[in-house]
Amino acid sequence: MRFEKEINEANQELYERVLACLNQDRFPVILGGDHSIAAGSVSASLTKYKHVGILWIDAHADFNDEKITPSGNIHGMPLSAVCGCGPDSLVSYSSDRADPLNVVIVGARSIDPLEKIKLKEKGVTVYSISDIHAEGITAIIRKAILTAGKGTNGIHMSFDMDALDPTQAPGVGTPVNNGLTQREAFIICEEMYKYDKLVALDIVETNPLLDQRNMTGILASELVLACLGNTDYR
């Protein structure tokens, strides 16, 4: 569990700040940082709204825990932690957990073998990049929203920029080929806005030191605007 103490301290503070924002009926946009911050931000949405679906847009599943992690990287564990599937130490400041049946991962293409088994055991829905190839992003995201929204009081979307193809979003720590196109990413955000169930948005893993001419940063900011209803014509 690398940098556990530092990450937990930051996440506890983030949890309190996101919760304060939600309690003022405002819409929090949380900018990462690596994906470990979602342990704090998603926990705040759960505390405020209790039953919250999670849409996890990511090349990875982030569903490892302290026992099965191949790397010890906590940014590979936050989704598992907020679902109550460990490590509990990452979410100790909150008693609210997500139901894995309302959790959907979209864009996955790099999942560890034990992580895959655990995802299936817990009932998380995973739409891999090949599902998107076969069915198209619009059909996939609509199904994902239905699953995450079913019986919940809203959806927290946690958007990892490494879901995109590295040619379009190079400024990420763990790039994986065969990713989403920019257009597919915008469709996800536009559908989320249309559905009007979004309670909070993380946009993470944008790293200016790895970026090229700030293209990943600019794209991330445009995706945030699309989630908030920005469009070319209305």
Q: Which residues bind Mn ion (CB under 5 A)?
A: 35, 58, 62, 160
Tell me the CA distances in angstroms from 17 to 10, 25, 42, 126, 157, one per residue in order.
Answer: 11, 13, 12, 30, 17
Active site (annotated) includes residue 160:
yes
Tell me the CA distances in angstroms from 195 to 53, 80, 170, 171, 189, one per residue in order.
Answer: 13, 26, 29, 29, 10
State the Cα–Cα distance between residues 156 and 42, nearest whole angstrom: 7
Q: How far is the CB of 170 from Mn ion (least distance, A)?
A: 16
Comparing CB distances to Mn ion, the nearer of 2 and 194 is: 2
Residue nearest to Mn ion (CB): 35
Six-digit token string for 2: 């690398």
Tell me the CA distances in angstroms from 154 to 33, 35, 104, one per residue in order.
Answer: 24, 21, 13
Comparing CB distances to Mn ion, the nearer of 47 and 64 is: 64
Catalytic residue among 65, 165, 202, 205: 205
Comparing CB distances to Mn ion, the nearer of 196 and 207 is: 207
Comparing CB distances to Mn ion, the nearer of 62 and 191 is: 62
Q: How far is the CB of 60 from Mn ion (least distance, A)?
A: 5
Q: How far is the CB of 24 from Mn ion (least distance, A)?
A: 28
Active site (annotated) includes residue 58:
yes
Cβ(232)–Cβ(188) under 8 Å?
no
Cβ(211)–Cβ(175) under 8 Å?
no
Active site (annotated) includes residue 35:
yes
Active site (annotated) includes residue 133:
no
Comparing CB distances to Mn ion, the nearer of 71 and 231 is: 71
Q: How far is the CB of 56 from Mn ion (least distance, A)?
A: 7
Q: How far is the CB of 83 from Mn ion (least distance, A)?
A: 14
Catalytic residue among 62, 96, 184, 211: 62
The C-alpha angle 204, 154, 21, rounded to 5 degrees, equals: 60
Helix/strand/coil for 118: helix
State the Cα–Cα distance between residues 7 and 36, nearest whole angstrom: 7
Catalytic residue among 160, 165, 184, 211: 160
Catalytic residue among 58, 115, 165, 202: 58
State the Cα–Cα distance between residues 76 and 16, nearest whole angstrom: 22
Which residues have a catalytic role annotated? 35, 58, 60, 62, 75, 160, 162, 205
